[in-house]
Structure 1
Amino acid sequence: MTAKLARSRWRRILWRTLAIAAAVLAIGVAARAWFLHWQPDRARYPLRGIDVSHHQGDIDWKAVARDDVAFAYLKASEGGDHRDRRYAANERDARAAGVPVGAYHFFTFCRGGAAQAANFLAAAPAAADALPPAVDLEFGGNCGRRPDDAALRAELAAFLAPVEAAYGKPALLYVTPEFFDAYRAALPSRPLWRRAILRAPDSRAAWTLWQYHNRARVAGIDGPVDLNVFEGDAAAFARWRDTSAQPREIPVGAARAATAQ
């Protein structure tokens, strides 16, 4: 092979390699753009909301309100003594921007439900116009000990009783797929906030909120944020917010029967 032919061959290989690399890069950019902007059918689910904690840092709530955000859930507390350091500021500023807000508590297996309820109510006292309180039920970030069904249900009942009495509304249960699989039969009948990233929740139980994204972008927030939609229109949201009338429930007996199958 002559030197000229060798150079020509290597040029073809180089250009072919560069073309493949460019195609891979373009696919990666397109996939990332699709991921960041994916959302459910907004005609069916017109109300979009966020959930945040101190991890989002300082939030420009006026910018958030302008970016198609109809509601927000704010982390208030965790376990028996931890309180989110950004809750008070987020609650104040979100309200000032006209964003309906609710508080959520991260439920730990390592503390009793009554102590956790006291911590939550001290961090997020009930307000008449607040969204129903929410309890975050998941394995990630929790302590290693996992209670059996009866113990979990008892501690959840000890948490929910004072919280719902204070708020005058049924609480919302946030559940990851793993938690729902493990404890579906133990969950009390409450509206569900289901996590199902980039896909619709399965049909095993109805839901009130659906967390569909965990790395989205919203104006006024630096970095990624969770996105959610409400199951219903603005009128249904107003009824749920103000009266929590007839929330969708998991029939506990049916859930246990289904789990046993």
Structure 2
Amino acid sequence: MPRRRPATRRLMQVGIAVAAIAVLVGAGWLVVREREARYRPDLGPGERLGLDVSHYQGVIDWQRVANDGISFAYIKATEAGDWVDDTFARNWEGARAAGLEVGAYHFFTLCRTGGDQAANFLRTVPPDADLPPAVDLEFPMNCSARPEPAALRTELAVFLDTVEQATGRTALLYVEDEFDEVYGVLDAFPQPTWERSLRTRPSDSRWVIWQASDTARVDGVNGGVDLNLMSTRCC
């Protein structure tokens, strides 16, 4: 009878094959991630690249950011009725000193009134912003409350009216798809949009800022960061 290979040898060969496949898959994943990190959209005439940042990015070297082709920054200022991002003032001053145009955004919570949130934003953000205010509307990281759509739109209208009257600028709307499906914000409000469409230029004409990546590598920022393109329709 032919001699059989020991089972341990067969198991070793299978293990080596599995390990080789895992290495190839891992290498492919790293190549994809590297390509995504280096992605920068093609710019049309007058279009510019910018970032949006918050405390999640830690300490940022804004001069290195500016030297890497970035010309504007949206900086998280506030959330809800009393929370202030503890890196806002430092980021605002640093970006300005590096020559970037700056704007502030507010994360709109479902647990506080629009008036409370507008007051928090206005007492935090300096009145001489280069860019219009923006409001971030999404479910992730929001509170557990889920008001009726009409009630949410009423509170958002209060926030927008208060902030726009105080700043003299029309606000931008950043609205998560799922949030809009529930609350119908984009149909109810005419403000221009800040649209998330990773690595695909939006096809509609309403957007004025396009979030093209959420994993971009930019000199001066630790880790991935949101990369945005500003249209000539803004701001």
TM-score, structure 2 as length reference: 0.86
Q: Equivalences for 1:89-100 in 2 at 5 Å?
A: 89-100=90-101
- Partner of residue 211, structure 1: 211
Cα pair 2:78 2:105 within 8 Å, conserved: yes
Q: Equivalences for 1:1-261 in 2 at 5 Å?
A: 1=2, 20-43=21-44, 46-127=47-128, 129-182=129-182, 183-184=184-185, 187-201=188-202, 203=204, 206-232=206-232, 236-237=233-234, 240=235
CA deviation after TM superposition for structure 1 residue 68, in Å = 1.2
Segments of 5+ residues of structure 1 without an aligned counterpart are 241-261
Cα pair 1:152 1:186 within 8 Å, conserved: no
The 10-residue stretch of structure 1 (165-174 or 142-151) with the greater mean CA deviation from structure 2: 142-151
Q: 1:14 to 1:66 in 2, by over 3 A?
A: same
Tell me, in whole angstroms, the C-alpha distance in 2 between the residues paired with 1:19 and 1:82: 49
CA deviation after TM superposition for structure 1 residue 35, in Å = 2.1
Structure 1 counterpart of 2:222, which letter? Answer: D
CA deviation after TM superposition for structure 1 residue 9, in Å = 8.8
Segments of 5+ residues of structure 2 without an aligned counterpart are none
Q: 1:2 to 1:99 in 2, by over 3 A?
A: same
Give secondary structure in 1 for the equivalent of 2:207.
coil
Identity, % of aligned positions: 46
Tell me, in whole angstroms, the C-alpha distance in 1 between the residues paired with 2:169 and 2:11: 72
Cα pair 2:153 2:185 within 8 Å, conserved: no
**Count of aligned residue pairs for this structure pair:** 233
Cα pair 2:109 2:143 within 8 Å, conserved: yes
CA RMSD of aligned residues (A): 2.7
Cα pair 1:176 1:196 within 8 Å, conserved: no
Structure 2 counterpart of 1:64, which letter? Answer: V
Tell me, in whole angstroms, the C-alpha distance in 2 between the residues paired with 1:109 and 1:33: 36
CA deviation after TM superposition for structure 1 residue 163, in Å = 1.1
Give secondary structure in 2 for the equivalent of 1:208.
strand
